[in-house]
């Protein structure tokens, strides 16, 4: 029996059909206590999902589905270290990276990171010319870039003085060139992050950075200006990085769940190791909540079940992630990878095609910028787009009155999406001809997550919240959330095309479109 044939799934389908035409403003009018019954508070977080298109019966049915899918048993399997990433034969143990008492190998790497950060911060680590490090450039891609990049920007208020941390990921030479343009080779440290030390984009950028450095300081400078996060000691040694300057992580750490490991070295340098450990502690606190809280008060469980409701029963194809915090401007990109690479799949754990929708498209932008870009479609575009608002109650940066205006916009947008506006509610000065343009259907579902502040501990909670949501959704949709074979296939094709583009191999075996595009690229070179 698949989950879609269970009584719990059928009950949700029946409820969705019966409630399809109930407007959210009707729900609020009929239930003055709606907010108090559809909000969860934990660890300083407030999750308000009262603006979702649901009622108590739907919530109860979603909770029943959680147990029908045996999510608690899967949680226990993950905690026990079983190889639940079955297609790669690996355990999923990223929670061990942030445990209060981590495994010995994790503790050892954290200790090495602490010692290294201290040497950079106190100036005892010197470049080849004897100068202290003032620039750190992280070279990675995907999980080796998005997490540290997002968190470094989010925690800019906690940045170590006198040290600038930058990120390069794209194989497009403009990414690296624009970063190096205002770096001093004598005071720049590169962190090359690649588990296998074979990632095409990362190694191409690393070699170009190496050439830039050695042109200025000579070959002997490499060991003082490059460190690596990798498991391939042979390849890092061939590059010129000493073994003591290679920080390991393990095959039970998936790339998009690796921020907590040595992959976060650039972040640790940016904010200091004490703050990095506070981030880990925040993640561990959310782990405890997810593992122990019952489903009706469980934050990750609630977000996962809302996704199932909107995707599988209301027919939503995308979700807008809208952080009303410029510090969290990189969060939508990070969550895109976390969710879409994890659950953007149509083959279940038994190798069969699923008979239901899976991960929606995740997109978004920091408010209020997004309001002047795409909110018009949210309000009047006629598409169902569930929205997820995130706001911080106490800001790190507020030159004067900015934060009140920011929060006012956040709350107003979720209210407007919920309520809409009828023709009778249009401004009195509106002419009959313009009245139709002033109408907003409303009934757009949203959640709002309020954070007490944006510090390392809270950010750790937030990241772990989404990680556990992704895992729970993988179980609910019967997917392996921890592999990414679709990504690998594109890399295989790119490796085949590269020698054709460079002229080292003839173009052959291509479809007419790829062959035509390749010919145009080669013609432009000539």
Same domain, yes or no: 12 and 44: yes
Task: Specify burial of residue 66 (Cβ count, 10 A radius: 0-12, 13-18, 19+).
Answer: buried
What's the whole-number mean pLDDT along residues 129-157?
A: 98
- How far apart are the C-alpha atoms of 77 and 323, rounded to whole Å? 33
Q: Pick from 271, 305, 340: which residue ends a domain? A: 271
The gap from C-alpha 156 to its chain's centroid, in whole angstroms, comes to 18
pLDDT digit string, tens, across residues 156-207: 999 999 999 999 999 999 999 999 999 999 999 999 999 999 999 999 999 9
Q: How confident is the model at residue 1 (pLDDT cuts 50, 70, 90)?
A: low
Same domain, yes or no: 266 and 188: yes
Count of domains observed in the chain: 3
Same domain, yes or no: 461 and 333: yes
The active-site residue, picked from 67, 296, 317, 491, is: 491
Question: Any catalytic annotation for residue 491?
Answer: yes
Q: Confirm whether 128 is domain-assigned.
A: yes
Are 440 and 379 in contact by the 8 Å Cβ rule? The answer is yes
> Burial code of 363-383, b = ≥16 C-beta within 10 A, e = fewer?
bbbbbbebbeebbeebbeeee
Whether the pLDDT of residue 239 is over 70: the answer is: yes
The CATH number given to whatever domain includes residue 14 is 3.40.50.10490
373: its two tokens = 């870009």
Same domain, yes or no: 452 and 407: yes
Q: Pick from 252, 271, 290: which residue ends a domain? A: 271
Q: Pick from 243, 271, 299: which residue ends a domain? A: 271
Q: Confirm whether 447 is domain-assigned.
A: yes
pLDDT digit string, tens, across residues 37-67: 999 999 999 999 999 999 999 999 999 999 9
Same domain, yes or no: 110 and 82: no
Determine the structural domain holding residue 390 and report its residue range: 3-86+282-420+440-476
Q: Confirm whether 426 is domain-assigned.
A: no
pLDDT at 489 (0 to 100): 86
Q: Confirm whether 431 is domain-assigned.
A: no
Q: Residue 417 is inside which H or E element, if any?
A: helix 402-419
Same domain, yes or no: 132 and 231: yes
Task: Specify burial of residue 152 (Cβ count, 10 A radius: 0-12, 13-18, 19+).
Answer: buried
> Burial code of 454-465, b = ≥16 C-beta within 10 A, e = fewer?
bbbbbbbbbbbb
Q: How confident is the model at residue 363 (pLDDT cuts 50, 70, 90)?
A: very high
- How far apart are the C-alpha atoms of 41 and 448, rounded to whole Å? 12
pLDDT digit string, tens, across residues 295-320: 999 999 999 999 999 999 999 999 99
Q: Is the dihedral of CA 444, 449, 454, 458 positive or negative?
A: negative
Q: Confirm whether 432 is domain-assigned.
A: no
Same domain, yes or no: 287 and 258: no
Q: How confident is the model at residue 413 (pLDDT cuts 50, 70, 90)?
A: very high
Q: Confirm whether 286 is domain-assigned.
A: yes
Same domain, yes or no: 294 and 154: no
Same domain, yes or no: 316 and 414: yes
Mean residue pLDDT across the chain: 96
pLDDT digit string, tens, across residues 271-295: 999 999 999 999 999 999 999 999 9
Whether the pLDDT of residue 392 is over 80: the answer is: yes
Same domain, yes or no: 404 and 460: yes
Q: Confirm whether 136 is domain-assigned.
A: yes
354: its two tokens = 């699923």
Instruction: For the chain, give the percent of residues with pLDDT over 70.
Output: 100
pLDDT digit string, tens, across residues 448-498: 999 999 999 999 999 999 999 999 999 999 999 999 988 888 888 988 999
pLDDT at 435 (0 to 100): 87
Question: Any catalytic annotation for residue 131?
Answer: no
Question: Any catalytic annotation for residue 105?
Answer: no
The active-site residue, picked from 341, 365, 388, 467, is: 341
Same domain, yes or no: 319 and 403: yes
pTM for the whole thing?
0.96
- The helices-and-strands tally (H runs, E runs) of the chain is 21, 11
Q: Confirm whether 434 is domain-assigned.
A: no
Instruction: Please tell me what DSSP assigns to residue 523.
Output: H
Same domain, yes or no: 74 and 110: no
The active-site residue, picked from 82, 372, 415, 425, is: 372
Q: Angle at which helices 71-79 and 56-68 pack, to 10 degrees?
A: 50
């Amino acid at each position: 029996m698949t989950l879609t044939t269970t009584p719990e799934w059928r009950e949700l389908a029946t409820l969705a059909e019966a409630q399809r035409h109930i407007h959210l403003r009707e729900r609020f009018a009929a239930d003055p206590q709606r907010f108090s019954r559809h909000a969860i508070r934990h660890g300083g977080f407030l999750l308000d999902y009262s603006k979702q298109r649901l009622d108590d019966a739907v919530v109860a049915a979603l909770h029943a589905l959680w147990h029908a899918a045996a999510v608690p048993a899967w949680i226990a399997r993950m905690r026990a270290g079983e190889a639940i990433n079955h297609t790669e034969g690996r355990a999923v143990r990223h929670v061990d990276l942030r445990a209060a008492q981590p495994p010995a190998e994790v503790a050892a790497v954290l200790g090495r990171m602490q010692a290294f950060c201290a040497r950079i911060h106190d100036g005892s680590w010197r470049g080849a010319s004897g100068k202290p490090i003032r620039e750190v450039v992280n070279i990675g891609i995907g999980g080796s870039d998005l997490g540290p990049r997002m968190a470094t920007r989010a925690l800019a208020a906690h940045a170590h003085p006198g040290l600038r941390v930058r990120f390069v990921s794209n194989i497009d030479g403009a990414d690296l060139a624009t970063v190096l343009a205002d770096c001093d080779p004598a005071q720049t440290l590169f962190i090359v992050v690649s588990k296998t030390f074979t990632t095409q984009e990362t190694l191409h950028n690393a070699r170009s950075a190496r050439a830039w450095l050695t042109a200025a300081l000579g070959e002997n400078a490499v060991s003082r200006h490059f460190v690596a996060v990798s498991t391939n000691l042979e390849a890092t040694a061939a590059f010129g990085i000493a073994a003591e300057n290679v920080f390991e992580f393990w095959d039970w750490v998936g790339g998009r769940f690796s921020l907590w490991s040595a992959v976060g070295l650039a972040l640790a340098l940016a904010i200091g190791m004490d703050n990095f450990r506070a981030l880990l502690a925040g993640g561990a606190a959310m782990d405890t909540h997810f593992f122990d809280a019952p489903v009706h008060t469980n934050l990750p469980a609630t977000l996962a079940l809302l996704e199932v409701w909107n995707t599988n029963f209301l027919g939503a194809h995308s979700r807008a992630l809208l952080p009303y915090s410029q510090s969290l401007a990189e969060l939508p990109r990070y969550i895109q990878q976390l969710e879409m690479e994890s659950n953007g799949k149509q083959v279940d754990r038994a190798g069969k095609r699923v008979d239901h929708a899976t991960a929606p498209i995740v997109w978004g932008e920091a408010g209020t910028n997004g309001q002047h870009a795409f909110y018009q479609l949210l309000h009047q575009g006629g598409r169902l787009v569930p929205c997820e608002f995130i706001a911080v109650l106490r800001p790190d940066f507020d030159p004067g009155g900015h934060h009140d205006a920011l929060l006012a916009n956040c709350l107003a947008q979720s209210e407007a999406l919920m309520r809409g506006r009828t023709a009778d509610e249009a401004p009195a000065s509106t002419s009959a001809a313009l009245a139709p343009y002033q109408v907003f259907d409303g009934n757009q579902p949203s959640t709002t997550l309020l954070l007490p502040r944006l510090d390392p501990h809270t950010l750790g909670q937030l990241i772990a919240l989404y990680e556990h949501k992704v895992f729970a959704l993988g179980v609910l949709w019967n997917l392996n959330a921890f592999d990414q074979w679709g990504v690998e296939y594109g890399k295989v094709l790119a490796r085949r095309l590269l020698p054709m583009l460079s002229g080292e191999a003839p173009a052959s075996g291509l479809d007419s479109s790829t062959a035509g595009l390749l010919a145009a690229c080669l013609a432009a070179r000539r």
